[in-house]
Structure 1
């Protein structure tokens, strides 16, 4: 077990310092994040655990450029995200970040190949839709529409779409939350394989503590703060995990 949050190594891709997020509501201020510090190393897999409202999804969204911090700083490589312009953040999301959500967000009128092509046609140095879908084991489903695919297959199309741009950062918010255990295993295997293939730093938000076994580090959130960081001495393959 370790609670080391700072690293001086050259492999740090994210440096988060004093990160706070406050939402104004009719009932008063909600502190979604409270003074969060964390270094994230290139190529590692993090699993973020915690109850609903603990801040883990807010943290993910700020690092992904989908939300803005109230105070504190987030540095991605040489870029200060928390001080970047809207245009710079948009370019960062487009070039460097792949998103996978609980709900697949596929376009129902497009085939698997066409759904992935939505990304590959606008990204620099993207792999082909066929290559991305092959990485998630769907070479035989290229021309199937979402309605012709199982939930697990649809989520694997979403994984292919996310990694087709070869992102530096792969952000997964409850990627197995709407799936049965077997489909969930297949999706986690796909995420693990493609992250390794493209060298992406991967962050997975989950309510399922069993998923923690596949992480390099497990980050536990409560009440907007990091309460614990555990380093896994041995990572477990998704199919061997206890769900």
Structure 2
């Protein structure tokens, strides 16, 4: 929707938001603009996030690079908030079990119980029971989900060539194809969950299916999240940090 000069004005931006609202599942039901007990009125549409991008008078133009960086920062902060949810003691790390839960949380219901049993089984594996995952490891895995299409192609290619998908194959695919380094700790947790018959080979189809579902579940609320920003903009006038807009 950006113009040829890679800029967009306030009215164009608001049209995009309006289109997103009309195509959002909840927005389609609440066509009157009501959302979570609030009505999205003109004061909200012209406050907060819109004011941050376009200024109080609405005359600034949103540069493509600024918007892309905003989305990157937003995603990064959302990941930080998710990590902090599990790191409630502010240790700077989370348990292998909590990390495993974030990995399987979006699995289809018909597969979820089986995966949750594997998560619980982490307590019975000494080398995994006390393992801790850092925020950098957490974010690297999240970045891998974003590059899932190319990553999954690499995984299946490795599997076709070798007949097996070993730990080294998984690390090599992530590094060579996606430029992402997965630590040995992350690899061990993945294999505990997705090496279903414990033969040292990853069950790639199950692994990819769960990651795809997680990324889809993130993508849909992204539209809703942008609309929620607009809905709460009237309360976000003192500061425009992403954390403030998320609160």
**TM-score, normalised by the number of residues in structure 1:** 0.28
- Between Structure 1 and Structure 2, the one with more helix by share is 2
Structure ranking higher in strand proportion: 1
